[in-house]
Structure 1
Amino acid sequence: MSNNLVFQSDFGTSDGAVSAMYGVAKTVEQDLDLYDITHDIPAYNIWEASYRLYQTISYWPEGTVFVSVVDPGVGSERLSIVVQTTSNHYIVTPDNGTVTHLANSIGIKEVREIDEKVNRLEKSYESYTFHGRDVYAYTGARLATGVITFEEVGKKLDREQLVKLSTPEVTVEDGMITGNIDILDIRFGNLWTNISKEYFQNEEINYGDTLEVTILDGSRQVYKNVMSYGKSFADTRVGEPLLYINSLENIGVALNQGSFAQAYQIQTGEKWKLIVRKAPRIVYS
């Protein structure tokens, strides 16, 4: 293992929950290195937790252990698991769909159920609502520091039985590329889609092209306009929209120095669709 333990949650940092998880981890090993993805996942939003893991994990060294706690089913019959990815990263999390994007992108090598008889903070057995502290931080710290091996987490599970979220696929028909608005680049209000750059390459869409963009909330059209496809935000004027390739090499939509999401009240998730095609040429007679 790498001696790195990386946390994400929907706890926020306005109370002591995150600090309690850090404390448990440091109790296991004082020299353990602790980091965060974010603790600002919207409450109960498993989809966003799944996406933020996908956004982050591949940039960390092999052997890094992640603790992801977005757990509306805490205390229920849902399983507590540790997942090993094919890139040899480890995620300690509830089995509620949190590893969906990783399963679809990187791939899952093995899954083990956390045996709480041995991998649980002492004197916490009457607590059913803070598994992030009592089970996940504790198990993650023990795994990251080599106190336990992956095999000692608990029994092996069938990876095909993991809970998965529904993830819409990109479709292409008659030059129209339809994808999903998966997430926001929150601070700047850019839309991040599941349309990879290869779809633009296959449709021979090049930098500088003008494209027609339609955004749907289910069947309701909320936006339709033309915009350019640029390498960077500087390829358009301030306040104008553009399409670009984001840091995950998928298509994004932005307003130069503005928030596209706020300007047009765009949200994310399975029902939010983005349709792109080359803008029709207008011929004046």
Structure 2
Amino acid sequence: MGRNLVIQTDFGLSDGAVSAMYGVALSVDSKLRVFDLTHDIPQYNIWEGSYRLYQTLPYWPEETVFISVVDPGVGTARLSVVVKTVNNQYIVTPDNGTLTHIKKDIGIKEARIIDEKTNRLPRSGESYTFHGRDVYAYTGARLASNTITFEEVGAPVDVNDIVELTKPEAYIEEDIVYGNIDILDIRFGNLWTNISRELFQEINVAHGDAFEVTIANNRQQVYKNIMTYRHSFAEIRLGEPLLYVNSLDNLGVAINQGSFANAYHVETGPHWQIIIRKAPKIS
């Protein structure tokens, strides 16, 4: 197995939690290459943890081991698992919905429950509140360093039993596209939807076309306006909104050099819906 270990948490970097996970990993094998995916997942936001894995995994080599710790149920009966994706990558994580996007959009071949009798940091005491260090970093490092095989993680579990969050699918009805705001391009405040470029093109779109865009939270409208579909931000005036294709080949919504999310108080998740229909072209 390769020596790449990629860690994601909602811990932030203001204390030593992430550093402790690094230390555990390097104590298992000092030759491991340890990388950060992000540690800025909003606290307890399993949905965002799931999406960031989906956003990142396809660009890493086979055999890379990912650790994802967004774990509001730490110390409860929720399972700790390692899964093997269809692209031969591994994810070490609580089974709490973090694998939703991977399971639905990439694919999981096998899953195993972490046996904490053998795959728990020695001398970690009776603490049940830092599985990121004591179970996930330790198990992930042992797997990435070939100290254990995937089979030695623990007993197999049916992939169909892996916990999933509610994940609506985008669709078209009477030439109107319905989707969801899955995530933010956080630093810039752009909205990333679950509407694929291919689905959007089914309503016969062209760059420069105008669309009526409605955004609702739990069916309560929070935004409605006309905007154009463009290749990039620079094709419109500063401060104007646009539709565009993001880096995952899905439809995005943005303000040129502004934060759409901040301007209209838009958040993310399965309750945030976007509705797009053609409008007369803006001259």
2:95–2:162 Cα contact (<8 Å) kept:
yes
Matched position secondary structure for 2:57: helix
Structure 2 counterparts to residues 7-86 of structure 1, below 5 A: 7-86=7-86
**Whole-Å Cα distance in 2 between the matches of residues 45 and 277 of structure 1?**
31
Given the two structures, how large is their TM-score scaled by the length of structure 1? 0.97
Matched position secondary structure for 2:187: coil
User: Which residue pairs with 1:167 in the alignment?
Assistant: 167
Which residue type is aligned with residue 45 of structure 1?
N
1:200–1:206 Cα contact (<8 Å) kept:
no
1:210–1:279 Cα contact (<8 Å) kept:
yes
User: Which residue pairs with 2:136 in the alignment?
Assistant: 136
**Whole-Å Cα distance in 2 between the matches of residues 119 and 11 of structure 1?**
22
Aligned-pair CA distance for 1:171:
2.0
**Whole-Å Cα distance in 1 between the matches of residues 220 and 136 of structure 2?**
41
**Whole-Å Cα distance in 1 between the matches of residues 125 and 252 of structure 2?**
46
User: 5+ unaligned residues in a row in structure 1: which ranges?
Assistant: none
1:181–1:274 Cα contact (<8 Å) kept:
yes
User: Which residue pairs with 2:103 in the alignment?
Assistant: 103
**Whole-Å Cα distance in 2 between the matches of residues 243 and 264 of structure 1?**
16
Identity %: 66
User: Which residue pairs with 2:186 in the alignment?
Assistant: 186
Moved over 6 A (4+): none
Aligned-pair CA distance for 1:170:
1.0
User: Which residue pairs with 1:267 in the alignment?
Assistant: 267
Moved more, 200-209 or 7-16: 200-209
Aligned-pair CA distance for 1:199:
1.3
**Whole-Å Cα distance in 2 between the matches of residues 48 and 9 of structure 1?**
11
Instruction: Report Cα offsets for 1:116-146 as digits up to 9, x if no partner.
Output: 1111100114110000000000000000010
Which residue type is aligned with residue 21 of structure 1?
M
**Whole-Å Cα distance in 1 between the matches of residues 272 and 117 of structure 2?**
43
**Whole-Å Cα distance in 2 between the matches of residues 270 and 108 of structure 1?**
22
User: 5+ unaligned residues in a row in structure 2: which ranges?
Assistant: none
Instruction: Report Cα offsets for 1:22-46 as digits up to 9, x if no partner.
Output: 0000000011100011000000000
Which residue type is aligned with residue 154 of structure 1?
G
Aligned-pair CA distance for 1:178:
0.6
1:142–1:148 Cα contact (<8 Å) kept:
yes
Which residue type is aligned with residue 240 of structure 1?
E
Q: For this pair of structures, how many residues does the alignment match?
A: 282
The answer to whether 1:155 aligns with 2:143 is no
User: Which residue pairs with 1:176 in the alignment?
Assistant: 176
User: Which residue pairs with 1:112 in the alignment?
Assistant: 112
**Whole-Å Cα distance in 1 between the matches of residues 151 and 234 of structure 2?**
50
Instruction: Report Cα offsets for 1:224-252 as digits up to 9, x if no partner.
Output: 11111001111111110000000000000
Which residue type is aligned with residue 244 of structure 1?
Y
**Whole-Å Cα distance in 1 between the matches of residues 205 and 2 of structure 2?**
42
2:190–2:252 Cα contact (<8 Å) kept:
yes
1:193–1:252 Cα contact (<8 Å) kept:
yes
User: Which residue pairs with 1:5 in the alignment?
Assistant: 5
User: Which residue pairs with 2:233 in the alignment?
Assistant: 233
Aligned-pair CA distance for 1:98:
0.4
Aligned-pair CA distance for 1:280:
4.3
**Whole-Å Cα distance in 2 between the matches of residues 212 and 271 of structure 1?**
20
Instruction: Report Cα offsets for 1:1-29 as digits up to 9, x if no partner.
Output: 11000000000000000000000000000
Which residue type is aligned with residue 59 of structure 1?
Y
Provide the aligned C-alpha RMSD in A: 1.0
Q: 1:281–1:53: structure 2 CA closer, same or farther, 3 Å change rule?
A: closer
1:241–1:254 Cα contact (<8 Å) kept:
yes
